[in-house]
Amino acid sequence: MNYNRKINKLAIIGAVGFLAVASLSNPMESRAAGTVAINDIMPTAGGIFDLKLDEDSCLKAAEATTEGMYWGYNHLGIADVETGNLNVRAIPATDGKLVGKMPKGSACEVVEMNEDGTWAHIKSGDVDGYVSTDYLYTGADAGMRAMELVKTVAVVNADALKVREQAGMDATVLTSVPKGEELEVVEQLDGWVKVSIDGEDAYVSSEYVTVEEKLDTAVTMSELLYGQGVSNLRVDIVEYAKQFLGNKYVYGGSSLTKGTDCSGFTMSVYKHFGISLSHSSRAQANEGKKITAADLQPGDLIFYGGSSGSINHVAMYIGGGKVIHASSPKTGIKISNYTYRTPVKYVSIIKE
């Protein structure tokens, strides 16, 4: 754990502890109390608060600390759903138009609450809308959850970064990753960063990445659309698969709710529609019709492999240049750009 992350955690733990003590004299403080207007509590240079020594100001300062000032958020909210996603709507109403979805544990900036505190106006990634506060951690709770959820990523700043089997320029190239992709960091080394791609360890040069701490954010509805002229079956398959966004990755698993690996995910999604696939990415690559990238339609499968070209991962294309896949134990079922690593094969399972 790096020094800054230790400081972040100590600050949050201290603030939460203060809140716990202070709340003894004010038992009516609610979980959403951290959503008061915190703009009047501004950090001075070095992150030290200029406080008035009264209970209300101290409580607000502690809540402000837990809600942000770290990880890029001033008023932090965390999606609190058991499974599936928290719907983000255009207006604060259950029949409002869907503008995005927040996977379990994803973060947002809480802009404001409505008068009765039942809806929150939030911003998360490219999504701007309203969520029910019944499913949103705020204040001290959000800070504590963020400590558990924050992840260290290497953001690629080269056009096509080579990912290697070992830390060295002479090491075998496993794949290449496009600019802007985020790779899960395992360890920072001298001149190299050890990363995990779909659960497999690999190495990238530290010269071509920026290491950051981030929380997951919402996905827009445009990221979840598929395009024109797509059959109803393909739409249904993709919509069904997206229900499980954010659920667990379990090696060897095939449960869409309790945990699955990459081939278990695609196998189980297709099984729901009466289509049988093997529980192996390598086998699935031979169970349909080989196609080209230009022929991709939602529901088709994309396969990825190592340096030898041997297939070791599968994802489902959902349109718009995106795939949904069971990625790794840390990231679970997620949406990625389909070129987040170099594809080695495209297959259509659906007979039309």
Range 89-118 burial, b when 16+ CB lie within 10 A, else e: beebeeeeeebbbbbbbbbbbbeebeeeee
Rounded mean pLDDT, 153-181: 94
The rounded mean pLDDT for the chain is 82
pTM, 2 dp:
0.67
- The pLDDT score that the predictor gives to residue 222 is 66
Query: How high is the pLDDT of residue 225?
Result: 63
User: Is 313 annotated as catalytic?
Assistant: yes
In angstroms, the CA 146 to CA 141 distance is: 9
Q: Judge contact between 145 and 152, C-beta under 8 A.
A: no
pLDDT at site 330: 87
How many other C-beta atoms lie within 10 A of the C-beta of residue 8? Answer: 21
Q: Per residue in 178-235, pLDDT tens? A: 999 999 999 999 999 999 999 889 999 999 999 999 999 998 876 666 655 678 899 8
Cite the DSSP H helix spans in the chain: 3-22, 55-67, 139-149, 232-242, 262-271, 281-284
Q: Which two structure tokens, joined as six digits, stand for 44?
A: 């001075």
Domains in the chain with CATH codes: 3-149 (2.30.30.40), 151-214 (2.30.30.40), 219-348 (3.90.1720.10)
Maximum CA extent, the chain:
71
Between CA 84 and CA 206 the distance in angstroms is 35
Residue 277, classed as helix, strand or coil, is: coil
- From the list 108, 272, 279, 325, the catalytic residue is 325
Residue-level pLDDT at 264: 98
Confidence of residue 310 (pLDDT cuts 50, 70, 90): confident
Q: Can you give the pLDDT at residue 306?
A: 79
Question: Does the active-site annotation cover 75?
Answer: no
pLDDT-based confidence at 71, cuts 50/70/90?
A: confident
Whole-number percent of the chain with pLDDT over 90: 65
Tens-digit pLDDT profile for residues 18-62: 444 433 333 333 333 333 333 333 333 333 333 333 444 444 445
Q: What is the mean pLDDT of residues 143-164?
A: 93
Dist CA 95 CA 304 (whole Å): 40
Q: What percent of the chain has pLDDT over 70?
A: 78
CA quadruple 196, 197, 201, 206: dihedral, nearest 10? -60
Judged by phi (left if over 0) then psi (alpha if -120 to 50, else beta), residue 287 lies in alpha
How many of the other CB atoms lie within 10 Å of CB of 311? Answer: 20
Distance between CA atoms of residues 226 and 318, nearest Å: 6
Question: In the prediction, which pLDDT does 69 show?
Answer: 59
> Catalytic annotation on 325?
yes
State mean pLDDT over 56-74.
55
Q: Are 75 and 82 in contact (CB under 8 A)?
A: no
* Contacts of residue 179, Cβ cutoff 8 Å, sequence gap at least 6: 156, 157, 158, 159, 160, 161
Catalytic member of 58, 108, 262, 272: 262
Q: What is the pLDDT of residues 113-122, one digit of tens each?
A: 999 999 999 9
Residue 297 in this model has a pLDDT that exceeds 80? yes
